[in-house]
Amino acid sequence: MSIALNNALTMDRSLDDMAYDYLGQMLLQKETEELLRELEKEQADGLTGEMDAFFAQQEKRHQKEMSRYFCRRNTKRLFTKTLPGLGRVAAIVLAVMIAVGGVAMAVSETFRVRVLELVSNLQLGILKYEFRENREASFDVPVEWIGSHYPAWIPEGYEITNLISYPGYSNVTFTDPEIAEETGASYADFNISEQDCTVIEFDMQRAEISKTLIQGFEADLIQISDSVYLLWTDGEAFFQIGTRNMSMEDTLRFANSTYPVWKSDKK
């Protein structure tokens, strides 16, 4: 039954109307078929430029909406005060992990980000400077990632289980499948916001806050039981890292490994 007929049942329509409604149904069917034929012909003749441009625009709009949504959702709601208490916070985190886990992506392709370093060498009274790639420090980034930075060091055994990357906001979550199977809650989460929609709230009832330095920038370090959050900015982007069941040493190493991603390196 069509929307029109559904509506008709709830409306007070005269006999004349109802008779014409039948015509309306036939007309709708006929005009729809005409539209479908028209579309088919346009596609066959390659005349879909205007429509393609329209949908390209539409997709940009969707991406913006999604970016904004995930940015807010993954930050504000994740740590919101609306469910106070450590257990509940953990439950939310777990819920996110479950909801997004398994998803995310079949990260099939990566591109290599080279880390260059300045090496000096004094030999036979000659001081030589060389700018060269540190192959050990160079790292792979999923091609889907469009954030300006990415963590170069991932704890051993951790794999990407979620990746969301849109203009202005990107998030990647790594989990250790073995630990995750046992406890369901061991992960390292990296977020980068390059727009101003980010709001984060922490339930400070059982949280400890301190300061530390991440890549020379002052960062807030928040500990809530076995979860650690690091938040800092380099003046252009807002970085957030959250880990659970990971040592402080690994968490700091993970945070300090955040490198700029130069798109020109994309292969």
Partner 1 sequence: MQWIDPQSIAAAGGMAVPLAILMLESDDDRQFVETIYSQYRPLLYKVARQFFPADSQEMEDAVSNAVVNLCRYCKTIRSVSEDKLPAYLVCLARNVCNAQLKKLARQQKITLAMEDAEEMEDIADERAMHEVVLSKHNAMEMLDSFEHLSKRERELIRLRHIDMLDYEEIGQILGLSYGAARTAVSRAKHKLEDIARKQEESL
Among 72, 76, 90, 104, binds partner 1 (CB under 8 A): 104
Give the count of residues interacting with partner 1 (CB under 8 A): 56
Taking the complex as a whole, how short is the minimal distance between the CB of residue 238 and partner 1, in angstroms?
20
Q: Find the shortest distance in angstroms from Cβ 161 to partner 1.
A: 11
Smallest gap from residue 96 Cβ to partner 1 (A)? 6
Q: What angle do CA 163, 167, 172 make, to 5 degrees?
A: 20
Restricted to residues 146-205, the positions that interact with partner 1 (CB under 8 A) are 162, 164
**Cβ(71)–Cβ(168) under 8 Å?**
yes
Our CB check for partner 1 shows the closer of 7 and 205 to be 7
Site for partner 1 contains 100 (CB under 8 A): yes
Q: Please report how close the Cβ of residue 264 comes to partner 1 at its closest, in angstroms.
A: 23
* List 84, 87, 103, 159, residue binding partner 1 (CB under 8 A): 103
Q: How far is the CB of 132 from partner 1 (least distance, A)?
A: 37
User: Which phi and psi angles does 120 have, rounded to 5°?
Assistant: -115, 145
Selected from 61, 81, 206, 266, the binder of partner 1 by CB under 8 A is 61
Site membership for partner 1, residue 11 (CB under 8 A): yes
Cα 143–Cα 148–Cα 153 angle in degrees, nearest 5: 75
Rounded Cα distance, 63 and 61, in Å: 5
Mark the segment that binds partner 1 (CB under 8 A) among 31-39, 123-131, 212-220, 250-258.
31-39
Does 27 interact with partner 1 (rule: CB under 8 A)? yes
Binding to partner 1 (CB under 8 A) within 72-91 occurs at 73
